[in-house]
C-alpha cells in the first residue's frame, strides 16, 4: 500500500532548453520525451458491462431498425464490484441518453447539446454517473429476417481508428479517481459498447 505509486506517462517536450532552437526547429536528448513501447494492457479498469433492463438496448436499436441509420448514446449507471473476477469492477447501465445527432448509414455527427448539463444533473440526483458510450455499426443482411452482416472479427477489426480515437477522447474526459496517483487520477473506467 504505502509504496504503491501510479504515474501517467508524459510525452511532452521539455521547454526552455538553450542548446538548440525551440521545437519544432530543434530538439536534443535532454528535452525530448523518453521512448515508449506499447504493450497489451495487463488488466482492465472495467471487467463487465451489464444493462439493468434489456428494453434499454431494444429502444436504442429501434432507431436503426426504423431508419437504417447509425446511432450513438451515453450510458448512465454506476460501478460495482464484480464478484466473479478478482478485484473485478462491473459497469451497471440504468439509462441510455441519445444526444442530438445527425446520422446516416455510415456516419454519426454529434450536434450541440443544450440539455447535456441538465441530463448530467438529473443523473447525479438519481445517484447515476456517465459510465460509457454506446454506438451502432450495423449493416442489414436480410431486412425481412432482421439479420445483420458480421464484419468485425479477429481477422478484420474490432474498432476502427476513428472509434479508438473517440473512445480515448471520452476516457480522457472521464478520468478514474485514484489515491495512489500523484495527480489523483489514473486511467479511466469509461466503457465503450459497439453494437455490431
Contact 46, 89 (CB under 8 A): yes
* Residues 20, 32: Cα–Cα separation, whole Å: 12
- 22 within domain boundaries: no
Q: All 3 cell numbers of residue 5?
A: 505509486
What is the structure's pLDDT at 29?
81
Q: Output the pTM of the full model.
A: 0.79
Find the domain containing 162 and state its range: 48-195
* Residues 138, 194: Cα–Cα separation, whole Å: 10
Tell me the CA end-to-end span of the chain in Å, nearest whole number.
Answer: 41
- 182 within domain boundaries: yes
* Residues 97, 80: Cα–Cα separation, whole Å: 21
- 57 within domain boundaries: yes
- 15 within domain boundaries: no
- 38 within domain boundaries: no
Q: Are strands 129-136 and 88-97 parallel, antiparallel or unpaired?
A: unpaired
* Residues 173, 188: Cα–Cα separation, whole Å: 9
* Count of domains observed in the chain: 1
* Residues 174, 158: Cα–Cα separation, whole Å: 22
What is the structure's pLDDT at 3?
56
- 4 within domain boundaries: no
Neighbour order of strands in the sheet with 72-82? 48-51, 88-97, 72-82, 129-136, 191-195
Q: All 3 cell numbers of residue 188?
A: 479511466
Q: pLDDT digits over 147-196, tens only?
A: 777 777 788 778 888 899 999 999 999 998 888 777 888 888 999 999 98
Please report, for the domain that includes residue 52, its CATH number. 3.40.140
Q: pLDDT digits over 92-117, tens only?
A: 999 999 999 999 988 999 999 999 99
Residue 17's CB is within 10 A of a number of other CB atoms, namely 16
Residue 14's CB is within 10 A of a number of other CB atoms, namely 13
Residue 116's CB is within 10 A of a number of other CB atoms, namely 14
Q: How confident is the model at residue 134 (pLDDT cuts 50, 70, 90)?
A: very high
- 10 within domain boundaries: no
Contact 177, 196 (CB under 8 A): no
- 9 within domain boundaries: no
Amino acid at each position: 500500500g504505502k509504496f504503491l505509486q501510479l504515474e501517467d506517462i508524459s510525452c511532452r517536450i521539455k521547454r526552455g532548453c538553450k542548446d538548440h532552437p525551440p521545437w519544432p526547429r530543434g530538439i536534443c536528448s535532454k528535452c525530448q520525451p523518453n521512448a515508449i513501447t506499447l504493450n497489451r494492457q495487463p488488466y482492465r479498469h472495467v471487467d463487465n458491462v451489464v444493462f439493468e433492463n434489456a428494453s434499454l438496448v431494444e429502444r436504442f436499436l429501434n432507431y436503426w431498425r426504423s431508419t437504417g441509420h447509425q446511432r450513438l448514446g451515453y450510458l448512465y449507471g454506476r460501478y460495482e464490484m464484480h464478484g466473479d473476477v478478482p478485484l473485478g469492477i462491473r459497469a451497471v447501465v440504468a439509462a441510455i441518453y441519445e444526444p442530438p445527432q445527425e446520422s446516416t448509414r455510415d456516419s454519426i455527427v454529434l450536434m450541440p447539446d443544450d440539455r447535456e448539463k441538465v441530463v448530467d444533473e438529473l443523473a447525479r440526483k438519481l445517484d447515476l454517473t456517465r459510465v460509457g458510450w454506446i454506438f451502432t455499426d450495423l449493416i442489414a443482411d436480410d431486412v425481412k429476417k432482421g439479420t445483420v452482416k458480421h464484419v468485425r472479427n479477429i481477422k478484420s477489426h474490432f474498432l476502427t481508428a476513428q472509434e479508438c480515437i473517440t473512445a480515448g477522447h471520452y476516457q480522457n474526459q472521464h478520468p478514474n479517481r485514484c489515491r495512489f496517483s500523484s495527480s489523483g487520477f489514473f486511467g479511466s473506467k469509461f466503457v465503450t459498447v459497439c453494437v455490431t
